[in-house]
Chains A and B, each alone.
Chain A
């Protein structure tokens, strides 16, 4: 069984059929880029993986466990999967360092000193250790998003989900976030990225999938995906965004 295995996944928001039978496998260390027009269900799909969204049909296995198993503790599942949101969603009342150390201390029971040491190391890795004692509002968008990545990494996750991490950023800040993500990918992190950054996809993705109206229309390694898209809808989409 693959590291993340999604089988026949269906989800409805009320009567709206947002995911229509998704089947995907992601191996450990694989970087999967998910693209597609807005409303195609790509964010919903990755949010199902850590159960921020519930689904009505199909199964998802993460690291060998059915994530919908009633005996599974959803909090410990989520602790193993980092997620980075479009809007950063940092805690505004806590300093950057405390944003990063909250979950390790409260969920994992890591001693504060150790959590802070690890947190500072992570902030250094994303290039903002000198801002550790500032509040999120004092940081630029790109810096906030890098803190959000450090916050997710602080739980030592086995996989990372990225939900359009650069869509809310000014153009000149996009690269500083993408560079952090590229480093992660090269270090062997399993990543599911919803993004329209095709340069990023070309450089580090192992596979690109294209979604439209709740279905995966096409999937291929990036070279093939960009040079020789098969589906008409994919061609149209790529023409629009490239």
Chain B
């Protein structure tokens, strides 16, 4: 296999992704773990760019790095995590976690090793199935066309699922609590002078004194 720039970039980016992903689960500080997750997303976006999936790569950065992980960090930074307490019960739950890990691993191998997956599987795959396109080929347009024609039901279903999740999240947090104060902007804007200020006619001291004399 010729070692061209793209191959070099691929190995560089995937090595970075794997190392960063390892750091996500091994670093002690949760903020560091979140930042390593950001690095993983970045490396994966790079790999997707090499596959000419520029829309997905940029959407990954825009949505996951630019919005989701920011909010994640937002929450993680405000937590006061006691590392000692986190480690309690590690060995108690270890067998369960190990079984889960093995199941996940077997699943992954089965998916990646099957003949249906792109490439020729784990035995001597060259990844040559990636079709290269001309420079003016718009990945975005092609993706849009597919989503709104062939996969329209799946796409709409995902959209409805997200909508339900949004409504559920709002409904869970937006309970009316007694004793909270909030502004009513319409009332504030419509306030008139007479609601706030009262003009009182007060006789001045000088006048009152001259009147006394």
**Bound together:** no
Q: Which B residues are within 8 Å of any A CB, using their own CB?
A: none
